[in-house]
Amino acid sequence: MCGIVGYIGSGKATPILMDGLLSLEYRGYDSAGIATLEKNKIVVMKDKGRVKNLYELEGMNDLAGTVGIAHTRWATHGKPSKENSHPHMDNSNSFAVVHNGIIENYADLKDFLTSKGYTFYSQTDTEVIPNLIHYYYTNGPVSILEDGKQKFLGAVKSAIYDLKGSYAIEVISSLCPEEMIVVRKDSPLVIGKGMSENFVASDIPAILKYTKDFYLLDDNEFAVITKDTIHFYDNSLIEHNKSLKNIDWDANAAGKDGYEDFMLKEIYEQPTAVRETIGSRFHLGEKCSFDDVAISKEYLSKVNKIYIVACGTAMHAGLSGKTLIEKLCKIPTVVDIASEFRYRDPLIDENTLCIYISQSGETADTIAALKLAKSKGAKTLAISNVIGSSITREADYSIYTHAGPEIAVASTKAYTSQVVLLAILAMYFAEILGSYPQEEIEKLKSDIIDLPTKIEQVLDNTEEIKNFAKKIYTEKDMFFLGRGTDYNASLEGSLKLKEISYIHSEAYAAGELKHGPIALIENGVTVVGIITNPDLVEKTISNMQEVITRGAKTLIITNQILPNANFDYVVNIPDTNPLVSPILSVIPMQLLSYYISKFKGLDVDKPRNLAKSVTVE
């Protein structure tokens, strides 16, 4: 979940490393550090806390090296501290390493190295890596000692061979000052190609302003990088060629563009994100197009179950996907949490289609669940926002949202883009199968085409949400209620509130209220109700009356005409098909969470204990 950056070239490394770290801080902000080669000596600057703290370190402005690595940390092993922050060095100060991931057998490796005379100064799993590299550099087999460069690569390879777990690793050495070595397994790493300079990062946006030409490193693949060359090697150190990909993202999309926070910017980018996701797949009067998904009617007719597997917000998007697929395609669909999926021996065979959703495409639990399904013979389809991400390279088929870079930890535009893409995918399957009346599909398409304009209408009327947030931001507990797709939306609204405001919040299917949760309702508690399905208006209002009777304050988000029911606040949103209503109803809840967090004086984009891309299990 940490962020890493690297630079090797002719220019000064420090400004580029710091710029990259600042753009990656959403990946972790417990500590940060950089290491540069200064006259063939490694100099490390690191500290606890945010990246900006590094600017205050004595000697920071004196760094002039043209080779360097950098890291911003989300703590796993060892508390946030200067000692535990990266980069880490070996005992001889010859090798410096930054690492994203978890080394599961670090305790055994630490015991081995301690028995060989090595000393450790941190509580981290990472510190074993530079010391292992040093050990193999000085004790490696004859075959890797032919020259200094081969010796460096061979030592890194030998060290990596001992590691169990996940990792993206950058290594520099004072013994080979013109090289950087990188390797990855189950953790993202990209290499940006420049002119007489090359860049490394855990995420493309970190270096997008410097290049749009990228190599996407595969699992167990090594790269030896100089300012002019990049050589790739497999796990046996056999060199191979690799294709260069051009990533056509606007570098300015990773900036705030005048907004106070990334989250607010990304909330307001939702009309564009949804519009571009729709436009990539269909236009009115046309059938949905997924030319990159070679799924036939014969195959779909044999599918007896669909799994949608994801984590957090992506899982909530999957719940809307389940409703759409079952309604339009008549195929039983199960939504499962990725972190639970592979530990319960799911019933999968060659007639199971498994759909995996991950904004970053690097979510460790989701990738592991995908690999399990493939091993059992299922077809796998990945939905991601990042072209060439790990999940898209593992899956049989991949389709993409067009949300652009999402920087804030709390996901907004990725969620709405995922729901709309799942809706289009469900229509595509239904058109192949002929399982739903085409005239009804056309009506749904029309509703989906109108969504971007309707999102803009919601965003043009935010004052009521802001005023309500100001009245309740000091509260400790809140509840969200809904039925059907409104319940799906309420889960996401509740998660947003927890993530960035630290208010305890729960979402319940409204009909379940009387089966236990109503015991938590007392005078003054705030309850948010979502009502967008005309068939469920009366039922949901009855449930809201139950909380009003017990003294709750109520906020209703609706596109229905409601009877006078003594609600405290009502936020009206445009009408749409209930199957895609979460795309509209979630936006007031995103804004509610945002404004509450701002009124509390919290860091909206970087909530405590959370990171954007969860690359550890």
Selected residue with higher pLDDT from 166 and 308: 308
pLDDT tens-digit profile of 317-375? 999 999 999 999 999 999 999 999 988 888 999 999 999 999 888 888 999 999 999 99
Whether 560 contacts 403, CB under 8 Å: no
Q: For 21-48, what is the mean pLDDT?
A: 83
Q: What are phi and psi of 292, to 5 degrees?
A: -85, 0
Peptide bond between residue 177 and the one before it cis (omega within 30 degrees of 0): no
Selected residue with higher pLDDT from 586 and 1: 586
d(CA 465, CA 240): 56
Q: For 224-236, what is the mean pLDDT?
A: 95
Specify the pLDDT at position 74.
63
Written as one letter, the residue type at 199 is F
Whether 598 contacts 604, CB under 8 Å: yes
Confidence at 611, pLDDT banded by 50, 70, 90? low
Q: For 114-134, what is the mean pLDDT?
A: 94
**Among residues 212, 273, 198, which one has the least CA distance to residue 247?**
212
Tell me what the pLDDT averaged over the chain comes to: 89
Specify the pLDDT at position 29.
63
pLDDT tens-digit profile of 363-382? 889 999 999 999 999 999 99
Which residues, other chains included, contact 428 with Cβ-Cβ below 8 Å and sequence gap of 6+? Answer: 281, 287, 288, 289, 290, 293
193-209 exposure pattern, b = at least 16 Cβ within 10 A, e = fewer: bbeebbbbbbbbbbbbb
Q: Please give the positions annotated as active site.
A: 2, 612
d(CA 510, CA 72): 42
Whether 555 contacts 468, CB under 8 Å: yes
Confidence at 251, pLDDT banded by 50, 70, 90? low
Q: For 90-119, what is the mean pLDDT?
A: 92
**Among residues 269, 571, 551, 243, which one has the least CA distance to residue 401?**
269
Q: How far is CA 463 from CA 455, 458, 499, 571, in A?
A: 15, 11, 22, 10
Question: How does DSSP classify residue 362?
Answer: -
Specify the pLDDT at position 562.
87
d(CA 336, CA 311): 8
349 burial via Cβ count (<10 Å: 0-12, 13-18, 19+):
exposed
pLDDT tens-digit profile of 412-470? 999 999 999 999 999 999 999 999 999 999 999 999 999 999 999 999 999 999 999 99
Specify the pLDDT at position 142.
46
pLDDT at 284 over 80: no
Q: Mean pLDDT lowest for which of 37-46, 145-154, 544-553?
A: 145-154
Domains of the chain from N-terminus onward = 3-99+167-251 (3.60.20.10), 255-457 (3.40.50.10490), 463-599 (3.40.50.10490)
Q: What is the pTM of this model?
A: 0.72
Selected residue with higher pLDDT from 56 and 434: 434
Write out the two tokens for 94. 């010859």
pLDDT at 222 over 80: yes
pLDDT at 46 over 60: yes
Specify the pLDDT at position 612.
57
Which residues, other chains included, contact 247 with Cβ-Cβ below 8 Å and sequence gap of 6+? Answer: 204, 208, 212, 213, 214, 387
Calculate what percentage of the chain has a pLDDT beyond 70.
94
Q: How far is CA 253 from CA 249, 258, 265, 418, in A?
A: 8, 11, 10, 19
pLDDT tens-digit profile of 558-606? 999 888 768 989 999 999 999 999 999 999 999 999 999 999 999 998 8
